[in-house]
Structure 1
Amino acid sequence: MLQELTEEVVRIWVAGGSLMIPLAILGLVIYFALFEIIVYFGFNDYYNSNSDQWMHWIDRPQEAKGPLGDIIQYAQHKVGSMDDIRDRMAEIRNAHLSRINGRIRFASILVGTAPLTGLLGTVTGMLSTFAGLSTSTAGNTVDLVAGGISEALITTQTGLVLAIPGYIMLNVVKRRRDQLDSFCTQVEIFTLKRFEKGNLKPAA
């Protein structure tokens, strides 16, 4: 069974022509970039923390723990005005979101390139077909035409197979990015309210 599957994969790979190599490299880079972001969110999932807990930590930052505790404490440490708090939260956003946004833009470009690369394979496959028709003899016409059409269809299919799951993963990553951004906004709002009420003492 495994041998038959391997032989079928090799047959499809060979039939796809030379563009199968850049498509394979493109697929590896796409999913490496996307999985890197997902792993980053896995290690920094504090935006899913219990709201009662982090709101309590905003009122009592000395009790805050972990990465989220560091954010809350940094947002409140020796601030002298509400603008200081906004600046601190802007720094936190830049530290966490700039890298994510860069990776998302990079992955989006690559995912959009995959079907276009497949389309390029369609064009080269059709050119091979027409070239075969113009130079063929009666005995090998069918083989040349079949080879060109096979190359055209396989590269297009491969490009779509790479792009469709990539778009799905991009949407998942963007949703998590938006959740993180929304969470930072909530922390900023509650910290500003605490400062406004006078519970957060300004810096001397």
Structure 2
Amino acid sequence: MKKRIFKELLSWSIYIIGAFISVLVINTFIVQPTQVQGRSMEGTLKNNDRIIINKLSTINKSYDYGDIVVIDSRVDKKRTVLDELGFNLRNNLIAFLITKSQDDYYWIKRIVGKEGDIIEFTENTVMLNGEILEEPYLDKPARYNIDEQIIVPKGHIFVLGDNRNVSEDSRHIGTVPIENVIGSYWLKVNRN
């Protein structure tokens, strides 16, 4: 009798551990639910929107203009697999619903420049390689106080929030190494 109970408990434990490891692998390397914190992407994403991040996009690291990505804003920090696991454990939707907090150095932004691009700003316009960047996703005019030309280095991207007047982005932290991209925005899953 005791042996049968022990086998049953062991069997259930193996299933539970296997399920936990499967979820961890899926969230770390394939897709991950999370919640938007802040107003920097308003116009496209609102504070508290629940979204799914596509982690597979980090495999080929091929991003395009206008892609919305989640970045690690600590641009001088070399990221490791442990960073990825930590991000997954602390910043998924389930953890947020329990703790009501997320790490504040993971930002969701839009790619406006890739390696080799020249970014310049007029009073309320972004210039990409000498031409006005068309940005139909912006719902209010932005004010820029930057009087410099930025050349995006090899292996980097330049990101901005859609709500430019409140967003902290590459204007503040500089260009972002491709390795600091956690994943790309895939889907909004709000129940509204």
Per the normalisation by structure 1, the TM-score is 0.24
Query: Larger Rg: 1 or 2?
Result: 1
More strand, by proportion? 2
User: 1 or 2 for the larger relative contact order (CA 8 Å, sep ≥6)?
Assistant: 1
More helix, by proportion? 1
